[in-house]
């Protein structure tokens, strides 16, 4: 578990954010070829653990995928699967109680 924690650092998230921004904003045939490998890396990180402690990481990766989908109009198959998994986590299903 210790090694998994090392894989998920802010540095890696910032790299993903940078690559997403570059790929989604600059229209170049060479850069659009990087969409598939980038999305495969997102999918690998999303599948790396099912623990609830990595929900924030998965939300960031989902945001990056949605940015690519919105700006380039491409279809990323595992995005819907990720959303369905995230909705099933108990932290999203808690009922909010009204406090006076």
Q: Comparing 90 with 14, which gets the higher pLDDT?
A: 14
The 3-class secondary structure across 1-15, one letter per residue, is: CHHHHHHCCHHHHHH
Q: What's the pTM value of the predicted model, to 2 decimals?
A: 0.78
Query: How many CB atoms within 10 Å of residue 19?
Result: 18
Residue 74 near residue 40, CB atoms below 8 Å? no
Render pLDDT for 81-97 as a digit per residue (tens, 0 to 9). 888 888 877 777 777 77
* 32 pLDDT higher than 90: no
The 3-class secondary structure across 33-56, one letter per residue, is: CCHHHHHHHHHHHHHCCCCHHHHH
Average pLDDT score over residue span 31-43:
88
Average pLDDT score over residue span 3-25:
81
Is residue 1 very low, low, confident or very high in pLDDT (cuts 50, 70, 90)?
A: very low
Every domain of the chain and the residues it spans: 2-87
């Amino acid at each position: 578990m210790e090694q998994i924690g090392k894989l998920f650092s802010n540095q890696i998230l910032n790299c993903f954010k940078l690559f997403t921004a570059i790929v989604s904003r600059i229209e170049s045939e060479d850069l659009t070829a990087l969409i598939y490998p980038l999305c495969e890396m997102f999918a690998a990180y999303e599948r790396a653990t099912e623990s609830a402690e990595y929900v924030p990481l998965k939300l960031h990766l989902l945001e990056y995928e949605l940015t690519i989908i919105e700006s380039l109009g491409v279809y990323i198959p595992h995005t819907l699967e990720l959303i369905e998994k995230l909705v099933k986590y108990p932290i999203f299903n808690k009922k909010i109680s009204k406090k006076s």
